[in-house]
Amino acid sequence: MRPFDYDLFVIGAGSGGVRASRMAAAMGVRVAVAEDRHIGGTCVNVGCVPKKLFVYASQFAEEFEQAAGYGWQLANAEFDWATLRDNKNAEIERLNGIYRNLLANSGCELIEGHATIKGPHTVSVAGRDYSTERILIATGGWPFVPDIPGHEHAISSNEVFYLEQFPKRAIVVGGGYIAVEFAGIFAGLGATTKLVYRGELFLRGFDAEVRRFAAEEIGKKGVSLAFNSDISAIEKLPDGTLKVTFNDGSSELTDCVLYATGRVPKVAGLGLENTRIRQQANGAILVDQQFQTDEPSIYAIGDVIDRMQLTPVALAEGMQLVKRLYGEAGPAVDYQLIPTAVFSQPNIATVGLTEVQARAQYGEVEVYKSNFRAMKQTLAGGQERTFMKLLVDKASDRVVGVHMVGPDAGEIIQGIAIALKAGATKQVFDATIGIHPTAAEEFVTMREPSN
């Protein structure tokens, strides 16, 4: 008789948890998965997937405007929020079902309810205790909303996907991916939109030129940018309007305040106090390079360990852990050269080092840049510009950073990330024949450094 009910008990059925569970079950491991909200986690339900659908929706207004230059005569287009929201909901429900079937078909047992760790080998869900040889925490993150007067009148990324009515006026607070993306979504769908950020410039951590260029282009799209600003209070008026007071004493009225000021690890009620697990100041679970906590039987992956809050990273961590525990140990997760994209308008994508980082690491760096108006904008009469940047270590000729602001940047940089991962040099880029006419060919036709 086996000493435990399960070999592996996974807490959290998000991207990382589901991938780890399925892989382990395929290896003959007895796996249970506990989830207290939605199957698929943040990415599927209130993150990457619905956000990208909303981004698509928000781009149509500009497409309709530009169509006239290409000979299309369109009647006045109207946007219906309920149709978008409900169609999105149906798609998310479909994906929830797929994830549920994936777990069931792989042999995992899904236990719905909030899981609490009672000890190194015990998890409790809905009053029932389950014994397990190992525990994997993959609970992800949770939106952070600061405790200011009237904060209860604001919404987070959890609620924005389910609004009953689309706001005519919206204020988005924050300077990261989610804030910049939703500012574009609100503006594209027709709301008068302001982005408020307490710092000098949003997207901290990105290349400085990328940040400045993106701010200029996003401003052209109708988003009012308020840097070095913050909200001190929110008041709900009798008619439902929100009166927002800023830290400089000024105020304005709006219909919606969305806080996108970061996410914190979702650890509340997990029972970590019943273990030897240590945490960072923000609640993130401390793990070693094998994702093992200070409690040897308990592991953690994904946003809850706060290394890189990206879905593909959680997937990679889950796969690497399961291979090491139950199969042949593969290479450790490589956190270098991870491409990333901000699905703002225009799109921002990057892989590798910023210019500051490259100069600090390599010393002499060659910088290649291109700033142009894409072909599509010509007949359409649009003024949007595209920016591209290559960073090259002069000593080795290796390309160490690539950045782009412009349409389809995420799609383009994904392919370039493979080249950087393979160690491509500037000579390799130069020797590559471009696809003409495309914006992407610019990356293989930059000949003269700008520095």
The residues that are catalytic are 436
DSSP state, 141? Answer: E
Q: Quickly tell me which residue has 């500012």 as its tokens.
A: 183
CA-to-CA distance for 185 and 53, rounded, in angstroms? 10
Tokens describing residue 71: 């000979």
CA-to-CA distance for 395 and 398, rounded, in angstroms? 8
Identify which of 195, 196, 199, 198 has the alpha carbon closest to the alpha carbon of residue 218. Answer: 195
The C-alpha angle with vertex 266 and arms to 314 and 40, in degrees rounded to 5, equals 50
Backbone angles phi, psi at 243, to 5 degrees: -100, 120
Identify which of 48, 40, 27 has the alpha carbon closest to the alpha carbon of residue 102. Answer: 40
- Residue 124, beta-bridge partner list: 116, 129
Strands 128-137 and 298-300: parallel
Identify which of 398, 434, 431, 397 has the alpha carbon closest to the alpha carbon of residue 415. Answer: 434
- Residue 244, beta-bridge partner list: 234, 252
Provide the 10 A C-beta neighbour count for residue 340.
Answer: 18
Identify which of 301, 331, 297 has the alpha carbon closest to the alpha carbon of residue 317. Answer: 301
